[in-house]
Structure 1
């Protein structure tokens, strides 16, 4: 009945409120991630808690077990990559792990698959949601650390050696930074072709470990071009350059007829911890303008390769997938095996990236979100604190000195006080103003109130003289005598 329903409404109200409370969306779970808070030095890298992502349409959610650290990450931190993302942003271009969830309309993958994935950032986290077209199943027996070390480095090396460089038996190669992740991949892949002469450049401290695998090894600081010409007067067949700048001109000059110069990096623009416009301009300025007619006359080839551009913007994901299958087969056959320099935790990312910046790594640096950060010694902690303090931007130093400047600027009006306040500071003698006025005025000619203002300048002068004698420091603080006299003249006459 209507009456009964009316009586039941108050009783059902609390239940409805409880259901509304239960229907409120729950706060998303959080995960640990390496976040770039702004472009600059190492202090811009922070390990923060971020909401866990959910896979969208055509995506898979990966529980990350290992991440690759590349020189591209260092350039991104400094903001010298093309079209850098807005900060803050989760860093990382490659990761390996296990699929934890699958989005709608996603085919070819199942929960529990072990995979490698590439993405424009967002890989350095405990969980990553990545489009399935950039995800590749790894073969049995491949570790997550090896998987994270293969993707970008071996893809780059394979493409520039075989698809662009067209490497064949009996040819020669000059490869820069041969000790890094891509360099190690080049060393291993060139062994799949017979009778290849490999010239390499690397830092001096890496030579001992690299000599067994490189035909001729040179330090960056020596005139390697002259040394190579002594060994091979005609030059080399392929130059693989990841540095750019002046290395470009030397590389092109070393090409023999039908030689190929391939640029796949611009790491020479990174000189300090933060972006240097001078280094960027220098690298650009040192590259000579190339004339197609000159290439035509010399029978030389110039090419460039950027995996990120090819995969994410030019949409060549099917081509990349075919190459990944070839690399997996080479790994399974034992032909290639990634060289891992070190494995670090998320919390140790600053130290790992500094090692990469100093070119101390021999092979790939891996991040593992599942391991604990290493304990730092007292000396390491002090060194890190000094490094952070040295890397503070000039703005912070300037801001520390600005308050002192503002205090000085605010104190200037106190030295040149306004007319209505300075008489209070000037007229502070032991003799009362009324006594001075009485001694200076005649008894028979007392000034009237109307005439007091006119007589004020003459009467105030002795008082100002007495004040100047008793307050010498104050007189020195005034910027000019003329201003002091002006303020004294404007002072009101003392009342009797």
Structure 2
């Protein structure tokens, strides 16, 4: 008799109604795989982008949240490969290893583990992502390649550790690519979200001066996390940014604010980005790029060394991830609606119970 588990299954492109809470067969680890009993798994922009088809869309992130379909279904994942439905999403898996497949060291059994979500291949363009090309952690159990499962020693609860795999790894990759150090003054856009709040902590570890750009009434939360300055996206933003000599911009929103934060960079500045939730199409005055010798870098895929750096920070007690709200798995539709509202600071986390 097939053993079942509770899971949220993405049944197609569209709104939250495409997320179905149901019982599905409990997976069995095959050769080189580990079965994890999920303790927590957080929501990320990639979950919304995949569900709405944003990766192949003509318009902005907000347009797709409003169900304005403008995507090509065959290309609607981060790597333009298309989703195979039904799919269990969720990249940020934390839990306990409960079963191993052939060839996996059994020493990992019963240990607390966390998942590195990039499934690496010989060709960079062929990388896969947990919860996108393979099933993820919005379920009671998940099967993951053993090479992507790490034991972790931390006093933090699963709900906080589940903020790491996507948001914190993305932020660490951005900060690493920008070579942030104590000599830098860094703008972080979208600083109240998962990646943005992570970037605040990771830049603070490196001793940089941090300028957080946030939504209204979130300034104090950014400062509590480590930002030296926190400015609201309003008519005074340009005036406020002009007070600083900005050497690095970590841009997570793009859209109408791209030009301003790009122009704020000093000669020789560095611009890094991994998100465009305010809109992927921007205007760039090429003179700002050419004559200021600005270095521009997109930072999406990252190696296991980035993830291992994060585990080191956690195990040394250097990070205290912000969790905005925790939802049970059965309330995934409500959780994603709350996530889409962006009226919070930190991460939204799902637990199976």
Which TM-score band (shorter chain)? 0.7 to 0.9
The yes-or-no answer on 1:287 pairing with 2:287 is: no
Equivalence for 1:102 = 100
C-alpha distance in structure 2 between counterparts of 1:323 and 1:109, whole Å: 24
Rg (Cα) greater in structure: 1
* SS of equivalent to 1:330: helix
- Which residue of 217, 233, 241 maps to 1:205? 217
* SS of equivalent to 1:73: helix
Deviations 1:245-272 (A, max 9, x none): 2333222211101100111112124xxx
C-alpha distance in structure 2 between counterparts of 1:86 and 1:297, whole Å: 46
- The offset of 1:140, in angstroms, is 4.3
* SS of equivalent to 1:298: coil
* SS of equivalent to 2:291: helix
Total equivalences in the alignment:
312
The yes-or-no answer on 1:165 pairing with 2:202 is: no
Q: TM-score, normalised by structure 2?
A: 0.82
Unaligned runs of 5+ in 2: 56-77, 118-128
- The offset of 1:288, in angstroms, is 3.2
Q: Decide whether aligned partners of structure 1 residues 191 and 107 sit closer, same or farther in structure 2, where only a CA change above 3 A counts.
A: same
Q: What does 1:340-355 correspond to in 2, within 5 Å?
A: 340-355=323-338
Equivalence for 1:256 = 266
The yes-or-no answer on 1:130 pairing with 2:130 is: no
Check whether the contact 2:92–2:164 (CA below 8 A) recurs between aligned residues.
no
- The offset of 1:205, in angstroms, is 2.6
C-alpha distance in structure 2 between counterparts of 1:262 and 1:109, whole Å: 39
C-alpha distance in structure 2 between counterparts of 1:108 and 1:298, whole Å: 55
* SS of equivalent to 2:212: strand
C-alpha distance in structure 2 between counterparts of 1:225 and 1:137, whole Å: 45
- The offset of 1:142, in angstroms, is 3.8
Equivalence for 1:330 = 313
Deviations 1:153-197 (A, max 9, x none): 221222211x21111223201101111122222222222233x32
The yes-or-no answer on 1:56 pairing with 2:69 is: no
CA root-mean-square deviation: 2.0
The yes-or-no answer on 1:146 pairing with 2:140 is: no
Equivalence for 1:183 = 196
More helix by share: 1
Q: TM-score, normalised by structure 1?
A: 0.59
Equivalence for 2:296 = 302
The yes-or-no answer on 1:365 pairing with 2:339 is: no
Unaligned runs of 5+ in 1: 1-26, 270-282, 311-318, 371-496
More strand by share: 2
C-alpha distance in structure 2 between counterparts of 1:226 and 1:109, whole Å: 57
- The offset of 1:228, in angstroms, is 0.8
Check whether the contact 1:251–1:261 (CA below 8 A) recurs between aligned residues.
no
- Higher RCO (C-alpha under 8 Å, 6+ residues apart): 2
C-alpha distance in structure 1 between counterparts of 2:24 and 2:215, whole Å: 39
